[in-house]
Structure 1
Amino acid sequence: MTTHDQFQLHLQQLPPQPETAIETIFTLGNGHFGVRASNPLQGTQTAYRGQPGLLVNGFYDLTPLSYGENYFGYAQNSQTICLLPDPRLIIFEIDGIRSDEQPFDVKIVDKNLDMQTGVLLELFDVTTPTNKQFRLTLQSFASQDDTHFYVINYRISALNFTGPVTIIKQHAYIDQQIARDENDVRAAQRDMTLDRTFTSGQLPTMMISTRKSQLALLVAMTPLPDTNMPLTTIDDLPAYSRTLDLTSGLTVNFSFAYAIGNPHPLLDATQLLQDFTETAESRLAGQTFDALLASSQQRLVDFWRDSDIALHGDDTLAKAIRFNLFHLFQAAGRDGQTSIAAKGLTGTGYEGHYFWDAEMFMFPFFLYTQPKIAKSLLLYRYKTLPQAQQRARELAIKNGALYPWRTINGEEASSYYPAGTAQVHIDADIAYAVAAYVAVTDDQTFLLQAGYEMIIQTARFWLAYGHYTADGMDFVIEDVTGPDEYTAMVNNNYFTNRMAQYNLQIAVDYSTQLKHEHPEKLVALNVTTAEIDAFQRAATHMTLPYDDERRIKLQDDVSTTKPVWPIAETPRNQFPLLLHFHPMTIYHYQVNKQADTMMSDFLFPDDQDQAQLQRDFDYYEAITVHDSSLSRAIFGILAHRLHQPEKAYQYFTETAMMDLTNAQDNTGSGIHAANMGGSWLSLIFGFAGVALTADHQLRLDPRLPENWTSLRFQLQFRGRKLVFTVTQSALTCRLIAGKPLTIYLQHEPILITNESISHRFL
């Protein structure tokens, strides 16, 4: 298989999939918006099985949460990403029958996603109710150069007739369908009503507005210069339309561009309307499909240059990892105002919310390959720090901040607090990401302007939420939920406490640093010597529960006292357990949805020796059902560290292929973005053995699966760009930008100098 083939994803290469899963897999996006690869004739018709639509990062409406008993501090509104009209929609009128009024028969011939160029090529065979057949070909891309543009080209050719066809590009509706699955709590189940107005002028613009969040979005559509399709009015709404005579064997070609604005407060959007349309007209003037594509492609060239992973020895996995990296790039907000939703911008699952996995599973990929995007993701958390501080006040925490478990606008949107707000570890997760960013980039300006404040405010939360035991010897954190959502409201969750300990310690370390370099920052945040001492004391005395009899880390104070769930006796059709058993039933047992204590073992490898890691792994693997897509990657990395290659390879394969095979049976509601980040973690922190030492040095200890011949990847570290190639017998490192750097192969230092190649046998 050629290198170019490894960037091509053909529909025929995939196992049979539901139509909604196909739409997800072939979605195009650019961090600002995503467009599902739907049937372009569907629109709002329920005769088709698809779920078409446009998703814009950060464009949501509020949907009231209903409680039988509405206690103080409960989230009052969810925030639901809006599924907007499908820009792919095209209407045909043949023999007086319009495709948006009476369904045409549409068969998918092929879909091919070229991940090097970002172009999606699709072929459909369409049959009208009068049995006239034509081939519809689509080429489309979401611009990576100007992330406000979506561009699409249509080609139609008659297959069995000659005669007139009317083509209409119009958006006559605003309320797109929302997938509903009353039995799956992970699916979006909110009803929203949007409003729409059109402006007149040379470039017709639709303003879509929400009713409760009071946001507005401007969307303009225009034909490109090679398209002869005049603007008209149909049913009192603007439309582009043309009637032409199709002749069998001849092809008609036309292209459109969409300018998709940023979410704005409703009044602001109205004021910005003229500037938006003038900018769109100016930017698109004289631009062809190919010209716009060329500028978009260059950004993808840059992306793959810095982020590609070339895996040789397993073509299927090589393509899967590139598919995952491509979707991560498409999903990440790049404006400092947005983050990465659990389903990216490919579907409405989890309502478009951002969770802890943005920092813990997806952020590392960007940190080491696209640090500007990594910084933007952290700036979103800094922007929403005031909401986190307010949330802490709602929980009677007078000082500090508590970030929401699930959110879009920075406010808590979780209606089930035992598996939502109680996951207070998110504070430390964000602080961990901040510290990682500073360590890897040495961006001291960010630390001073934003990062330090986030670390201090989250550290303050732990001092207030935790407390000392009666004898004053141990610091405990009670009534929390760790990453394992099948164990809720426990005391001293190991992962939470270990992360809180780290959060407190880095608050001490950075305070000590800035006290000498920028003492005014401590004064501005009212950080005192007494508070720094309190951080240190809590970190030193943090409770980390341990079972002396089993010699394992305890997930919480009483985790091993519960009966073990009979996993082997549970029918496969009753997984995931959360869809078939009441939470109280699940909480009664030892059964893990995902890595919890093992997540700590992954993040803090120096906390335990191999024997301890093996005991932890054996115990927790036996009670983990991997109902969360976040789980397998972590177990796979730890299996690799324990020199269990077959198990590590199996976990990695399941991680890398999850969405391409619809393994969780819910890809139709969107990709599993965190799992995609987990596939990168598996390769880099697993098989390549990359680690960041306590003194911020790069260390590698690579071991490849026996059927892989090589693994090539790039990392950026403190202003350097490095290319690594690992084979079965050697590691090669090349410095392509930046100053010389010493790295460590296992424990051996290697000096890498400019443009030199360092080769070491393993």
Structure 2
Amino acid sequence: MSTQDAEPVPAEVAAVAGDGHQGAAAAVGPAEVGATERAAASQAAPSERPLHVAHGRGSLPVDPWSVREPTLDLAGLGRTESLFALSNGHIGLRGNLDEGEPHHTQGTYLSGFFEHHPLPYPEGGYGYPESGQTMVNVTNGKLIRLLVDDEPFDVRYGTVLRHERVLDMREGTLQRWVDWVSPAGRAVRVKSTRLVSFAHRAVAAIAYTVEAEQEVRIILQSELVANEAPPEVDSDDPRVAEALDNPLVAVGQDVEQHGSVLLHRTAHSGLHLAAGMDHDIECSRQYDVENEVRQDWARTTVVTILRPGDKLRVVKYLGYGWSRTRSDPALRDQVAAALTGAKYSGWDMLRRAQRDYLDEFWRAADIEIDGDPVLQQALRFSAFQVLQAGARTEGRAIGAKGLTGTGYNGHTFWDVEGFVVPVLTLTAPDAAAHALRWRASTLDRARERARTLGLAGATFPWRTIDGDETSAYWPAGTAAFHINADITRAFELYRWATGDDGLERSVGLDVLVETARLWISLGHHDAAGRWHVDGVTGPDEYTAVVDDNVFTNLMAAANLNAAVGACTRQRRAARLLGVGEAEIARWRRAARSVHVPFDAKLQVHPACANFTRYAEWDFEATVGRYPLILDPPTRILW
């Protein structure tokens, strides 16, 4: 689609991942472009003509297989850093500019890598979590700084003749083209392509090319940086993550010919991290390379003189690994091996493997829509983000924001089993199975949590990274017991969709049995024999700690019936879990007699018992005040 034919994408695409925070600068894009620059731009991929269409926050051109930013909007960096984030479910690289500045929020994340922080309570209570968990911005390997005759390449200075970025959802890459003239009048053309490998879980790579239009001295600095300064956080929004200062403690460093490895650990959560980089360098002119390494910083510097038409091309390979139990030398060697394997494969093979992986995914996942290109792009973008969030988690949780940013502290919630895992089940079932196995691996913690609450079975956490409850607010946290049924539903959907009983046999049965036991201890029968669940919060979270939430009751009944079915299929394994006919009969009775509130006058099922007796909500008075969690007093909502 040409620029002239492009339609704006308002919220459909941006809402999936965008942060949407305001910055301080204006858009940077094609301004006064001369004949030479126009001719050069006409030959540059992917457009067939120069891009001169400015766009404001909230609108990007429509393309069926990509998200394209034709000019750089500095005021919208928070949004585009999320939109252009790349991840394979294990490594996440926020869509920051290669040179690192300007930025809204720097971000490099590893699934499951977190630090503890205290949860202070003005007035504590029994069973309240004592510490929270926050995902850590780990060692940043995206940084490639460029100096042109000693002037740093920075889009805020000099003249930007062209700036374009494209997230290609078939290639799994983020591409960037910049034509820049330094304040001293030195012109260079920069192209970078970034990927986080689906095929090689521990690897990411960046191909970075500089082309000169005059004779210039080029200094390229490729860096690893740990403990970057966090963004300032001044918000009462509970979805915004805590800012951690210097969360990583240096353990060791290693340097090779064209690369380095930095070793760190967290101070409180006991996690160890290795991050490394290596490079392939190509240049038509002679060049020199230097390596430097410090505790929190490593740099590989390439220096050369380019003449008109000359190019310097650097492929930067990144490797990451972390563990709670493995030694630092073992992690170092793991990352070194990942880098060696990536260099052996080379950039072209990594890119080909990325395309092959996505070709297979899209054969299962793609849905074609005629007549609505905006929806077509949004649907593919959403499917791509689901894949990025969960493809290679393999023993880790899928966070509510994937690995695009620190929203919700990187926690996983019921939404993952409720919405993400079912999509993965139909499009990438191996990834769905890994997500469910991770949840099952936390069952012992869920059993312990249930005991703490005086309940039987297992109570899974409302929000967590490693399986421990970290929600500090009971009404919008632990009281949302429906998460336990949401998890069992995901197991059932996986079995129905794949026809595979193996997951149920290995881990699913235990989850179904223990959650069924939870519901029996949480609910009760009244004198008329109806089964009720009191004091719970439903998924809308606007009616908290209520009786007989319809969603919760129906999901609990489905959970109980699923447990009956699983124990019938896996009789021997069920007996080993202590499940007898009497217990199964109790499950059947509760599911059969579950109370589902109904308003006979209005002929509707209310959200919960007595819901239609509440005062009507004044929608006119709350226009512009959403989300409501940030505005009305708790008394009004709850």
Q: How does 1:631-710 map to 2 (within 5 A)?
A: none
Shift of the alpha carbon at 1:326? Answer: 1.0
CA 1:173/1:372 → structure 2, altered by over 3 Å: closer, same or farther?
closer
2 CA distance for matches of 1:354 and 1:333?
Answer: 15
2:416 alignment partner in structure 1:
358
2:282 is the counterpart of 1:230: no
Q: Secondary structure at the match of 1:446?
A: helix
Q: How does 1:599-618 map to 2 (within 5 A)?
A: none
Shift of the alpha carbon at 1:472? Answer: 5.5
CA 1:251/1:233 → structure 2, altered by over 3 Å: closer, same or farther?
same
2 CA distance for matches of 1:112 and 1:345?
Answer: 19
In structure 2, stretches of 5+ residues that fail to align are: 3-45, 47-62
Aligned-partner residue type, residue 291 of structure 2: T
2:566 is the counterpart of 1:510: yes
What is the number of equivalent residue pairs in this alignment? 571
Structure 1, residues 6-34: CA drift from partner, whole Å, max 9, x if none? 21321139999711101111111111111
2:338 is the counterpart of 1:338: no
Q: Secondary structure at the match of 1:83?
A: coil
CA 1:575/1:229 → structure 2, altered by over 3 Å: closer, same or farther?
farther
Shift of the alpha carbon at 1:462? Answer: 0.5
Shift of the alpha carbon at 1:98? Answer: 5.7
2:224 alignment partner in structure 1:
171
2 CA distance for matches of 1:536 and 1:438?
Answer: 21
2:520 is the counterpart of 1:463: yes
2 CA distance for matches of 1:229 and 1:119?
Answer: 29
- Percent identical among aligned pairs is 30
CA 1:234/1:250 → structure 2, altered by over 3 Å: closer, same or farther?
same
TM-score of the superposition, structure 2-length normalised? 0.84
Aligned-partner residue type, residue 446 of structure 1: L
Q: How does 1:191-590 map to 2 (within 5 A)?
A: 191-192=244-245, 193-202=247-256, 203-224=259-280, 226=282, 230-233=289-292, 238-261=298-321, 263-265=322-324, 268-273=326-331, 275-397=333-455, 399-469=456-526, 471=527, 473-515=529-571, 519=572, 521-572=573-624, 574-587=625-638
Instruction: Report if aligned partners of 1:431, 1:455 keep a CA contact under 8 Å in 2.
Output: yes
Instruction: Report if aligned partners of 1:486, 1:583 keep a CA contact under 8 Å in 2.
Output: no
2 CA distance for matches of 1:526 and 1:299?
Answer: 43
Shift of the alpha carbon at 1:146? Answer: 0.5
Structure 1, residues 375-401: CA drift from partner, whole Å, max 9, x if none? 11110111111111111111111x200
Instruction: Report if aligned partners of 2:84, 2:95 keep a CA contact under 8 Å in 1.
Output: yes
Instruction: Report if aligned partners of 1:156, 1:251 keep a CA contact under 8 Å in 2.
Output: yes
CA 1:7/1:98 → structure 2, altered by over 3 Å: closer, same or farther?
closer
1:187 alignment partner in structure 2:
240
2 CA distance for matches of 1:468 and 1:258?
Answer: 58
1:712 alignment partner in structure 2:
none
Q: Secondary structure at the match of 2:369?
A: strand
Instruction: Report if aligned partners of 1:463, 1:535 keep a CA contact under 8 Å in 2.
Output: yes
1:689 alignment partner in structure 2:
none
CA 1:172/1:540 → structure 2, altered by over 3 Å: closer, same or farther?
closer
1 CA distance for matches of 2:106 and 2:199?
Answer: 24
Shift of the alpha carbon at 1:361? Answer: 1.1
Instruction: Report if aligned partners of 1:42, 1:50 keep a CA contact under 8 Å in 2.
Output: no
CA 1:92/1:514 → structure 2, altered by over 3 Å: closer, same or farther?
closer
Instruction: Report if aligned partners of 1:231, 1:238 keep a CA contact under 8 Å in 2.
Output: no
Q: How does 1:2-21 map to 2 (within 5 A)?
A: 6-12=64-70, 18-21=76-79
Instruction: Report if aligned partners of 2:290, 2:301 keep a CA contact under 8 Å in 1.
Output: yes
CA 1:109/1:553 → structure 2, altered by over 3 Å: closer, same or farther?
same
Shift of the alpha carbon at 1:242? Answer: 1.8
Instruction: Report if aligned partners of 2:71, 2:163 keep a CA contact under 8 Å in 1.
Output: no
TM-score of the superposition, structure 1-length normalised? 0.71
CA 1:472/1:530 → structure 2, altered by over 3 Å: closer, same or farther?
farther
Instruction: Report if aligned partners of 1:137, 1:155 keep a CA contact under 8 Å in 2.
Output: yes
CA 1:315/1:576 → structure 2, altered by over 3 Å: closer, same or farther?
same
Q: Secondary structure at the match of 1:220?
A: strand
Instruction: Report if aligned partners of 1:174, 1:196 keep a CA contact under 8 Å in 2.
Output: no
CA 1:172/1:52 → structure 2, altered by over 3 Å: closer, same or farther?
closer
Shift of the alpha carbon at 1:513? Answer: 2.9
CA 1:14/1:278 → structure 2, altered by over 3 Å: closer, same or farther?
closer
Shift of the alpha carbon at 1:126? Answer: 4.8
CA 1:357/1:277 → structure 2, altered by over 3 Å: closer, same or farther?
closer
Structure 1, residues 71-108: CA drift from partner, whole Å, max 9, x if none? 121111211111124322122345556679x9856957
Structure 1, residues 119-140: CA drift from partner, whole Å, max 9, x if none? 2111235565656553332111
Instruction: Report if aligned partners of 2:135, 2:410 keep a CA contact under 8 Å in 1.
Output: yes
Shift of the alpha carbon at 1:205? Answer: 1.0
Shift of the alpha carbon at 1:225? Answer: 5.7
Q: Secondary structure at the match of 1:170?
A: strand
1:65 alignment partner in structure 2:
119
1 CA distance for matches of 2:548 and 2:74?
Answer: 45
1:612 alignment partner in structure 2:
none
CA 1:541/1:276 → structure 2, altered by over 3 Å: closer, same or farther?
same
Q: How does 1:29-68 map to 2 (within 5 A)?
A: 29-42=87-100, 48-68=102-122
Q: Secondary structure at the match of 1:575?
A: coil
CA 1:499/1:172 → structure 2, altered by over 3 Å: closer, same or farther?
closer
CA 1:578/1:110 → structure 2, altered by over 3 Å: closer, same or farther?
same
Instruction: Report if aligned partners of 1:141, 1:150 keep a CA contact under 8 Å in 2.
Output: yes
1 CA distance for matches of 2:600 and 2:341?
Answer: 67
Aligned-partner residue type, residue 138 of structure 2: L
CA 1:377/1:359 → structure 2, altered by over 3 Å: closer, same or farther?
same
Shift of the alpha carbon at 1:254? Answer: 1.2
Q: Secondary structure at the match of 2:466?
A: coil
1 CA distance for matches of 2:332 and 2:236?
Answer: 45
Q: Secondary structure at the match of 2:564?
A: helix
Q: How does 1:65-214 map to 2 (within 5 A)?
A: 65-94=119-148, 96=150, 109-126=163-180, 132-158=186-212, 162-178=215-231, 180-192=233-245, 193-202=247-256, 203-214=259-270
1 CA distance for matches of 2:409 and 2:100?
Answer: 22
Aligned with residue 28 of structure 1, among 86, 102, 106:
86
Aligned-partner residue type, residue 99 of structure 2: L
CA 1:13/1:127 → structure 2, altered by over 3 Å: closer, same or farther?
closer
2 CA distance for matches of 1:281 and 1:341?
Answer: 26
CA 1:234/1:491 → structure 2, altered by over 3 Å: closer, same or farther?
closer
Over aligned residue pairs, what C-alpha RMSD do you find?
A: 2.6
CA 1:6/1:199 → structure 2, altered by over 3 Å: closer, same or farther?
same
2 CA distance for matches of 1:351 and 1:81?
Answer: 6
1 CA distance for matches of 2:476 and 2:88?
Answer: 31
2 CA distance for matches of 1:136 and 1:421?
Answer: 51
1:746 alignment partner in structure 2:
none
Aligned-partner residue type, residue 450 of structure 1: V
Q: Secondary structure at the match of 2:326?
A: helix
Aligned-partner residue type, residue 211 of structure 1: A
